[in-house]
Structure 1
Amino acid sequence: MDEIELRHILHMNPELSFKEYRTKETLRKAVIEIGYEKIIEVAGTGLVIEKKETEDPYVVLRADMDALPIKEETGWEFASRNEYMHACGHDFHMSALYGAMKRLRNVKKNFLFVFQPAEETGGGAKEVVDFLKDKYEIKAAVGFHVTDEYDAGTVASRPGVLFASATEFDVYFKGVPAHVAFAEKGKDALKAAVSFLGWLYNKKWNALVGVGKISGGRARNIVPDEIKLEGTIRSEALRITEEVISNMVKQLGELKEEMGVDFAVERGSVYPEVKVDQNLFETLRETCQRLGFSFVECDMKWTGEDFGYFSQVFPSLLFWFGVGEGERFGLHHPRFLPNDRYIPMAADLLAELAMVI
């Protein structure tokens, strides 16, 4: 099976985070067919394929596996056959890594090929890293992400923080219900939430802070006693995020004293910032120039990526792999569909990087 055939199978059968059972078995069968034997299950639905040839440290190549709860609208011959979609390009990532594995089969170096589940929920990388760090000596970890922001044939990265840390947060407001005709008998959770949002959006943050969803209330004529805000914080470092949350809790405490509405703050998924090692960045630049890719040193992106868990522990390299051509839709769009023909190019780049690192 070549990498494009594998991409078609994976794209037609997308699975959500930590439910990548068919994906795992498809990958297992494919890597066995090309001669890899030491296959280790990790994080429930992930795979680590070990290639040990010497006593040297390992180079990790990582691809994420999970899809999104998005209904595909591409009309492609190999479109998803269920209600989910590889709208973030993870099918491309897995197929390119598989292609790199074929190219590296006879190279006398130590590699760990990681098919990682649950990138979209932020939990998969942490479990994989917890497994790897105590078992292997690792020289470098390498990953990439497709995007149509950059033209096809363009690679982009930067030393230092490439992707911001991303933390989901929920704020719960708990008041007392009452008929609006007797509103003084209630405690209005919605009014407290609105006051909090006004404070949140008028404060200058050293971060990107936003709320994307509000839910709650019982009926149009009842003082709302339960409101939930769902938001995200993007920052250059998790310590900045902690400062934001601390400020939020302080403000909520003041609102509680003023309005009598109780509150709770909960964190959802947490993505540490992705940090690119300076030496690995220079290796990427030189390799791209040698292979004929256009190379861009980009700005930090507010995108979240749980590869940050790798970069907290190992010298790491992550880069954008441009696939833009014609109309561009962006990641997580029901019509996002990188062209097959760029998969071998990505596989070539991954393999070359693995050999020279």
Structure 2
Amino acid sequence: MEPGDEAGGRWLREFGVGEVVRRLRQGADALPGVSGTRWGGLVARAGRAEPERDLEVARAAGMRFVCPGGAEWPGQLDDLGDGRPVGLWVRGTPSLRIWALRSVAVVGARACTEYGAHTAASLASGLAERGWVVVSGGAYGIDGAAHRGALAVGGATVAVLACGVDRPYPRGHTALINRIAEQGLVVGELPPGDHPTPSRFILRNRVIAALTTGTVVVEAACRSGSLVTARAAQRLGRFTMGVPGPVTSGLSAGVHELLRGEAVLVTDAAEVVELVGDIGELAPPRRGPVLPRDLLDPAARTVLAALPGDRPAPAEDIAADARTTRDEAIARLYELRALGYVERHGDGWKLTRQAMMSVREGRGGC
């Protein structure tokens, strides 16, 4: 059966693996829910299947087959219902179940920009340094940048392929996928030797979404396959996040559309972990620089703000603008003079050059 075949998944649930295999092998009466033509196609494929050879090839290549209910099976894949994988072929030594418990998908455009590649690599390295597993699809662009970002800091990463995991695709990523298999995990639904097709890429994305705690989309046009992953994550109740880009970039249009819906805007790994992590894993607050005048007593700041910028002013006028008494204003003015903010000119008071620069910086800040 093809990945994501819900009719087949229903048969396995209702009749059991042994009965489904028996009927397909014998070409018996069609199981319910499919046409005669489709049943005939499945029977023909069953006749060509060589599971013993597949397992032998897998063992020789250092692969294993993980079944639902097994010790290494990630239980969150069961959220896919009858569309869950029949099983997963796995390359690499870590436990897929354990790694999936603390994992985040980072996906996006194949033809990404330098901004997208840099952002994906930074996100992935930041997540890996915080102990999270980075999951992606092994493709060119954002996927590859995410895998490399995790590997660069010695982190954990998983590539979910739309073909047999013994034949890396795309071919240009053979070295990368082999390195992932050595340092992390390469997984897929298809048996050894199977090739990718457009529909298999789309169906592969549901596995990425179900396997992980949340999905981050870095760059995606309006028809990007990575949006399929994000929408699958939303349907499954997973966290969905997007990294904004220039409003003039078509490669960010799909992300921006997600952000107009239920996706959460994130800009770095700390913000991702704040969403998907444990209670108390908060991102640092975003704020501008602290200026010296921010450290003044509130009453002194009020008097400082009451001084005109272009001329000296008498204490009475300053007190009126600061909504305080003349004596209080004078006391604050002498305090400000000691700190270098104001200077006295006869009977008036004026801002110093330092204070004028501080006022300009404050008005230009966030």
Q: Say whether the fold is shared (TM-score over 0.5).
A: no
Length-normalised TM-score, structure 1: 0.21
Higher relative contact order (CA 8 A, sep 6+): 1
Higher radius of gyration, 1 or 2: 2
Q: Would you tell me which structure has more helix in proportion to its own residues?
A: 2
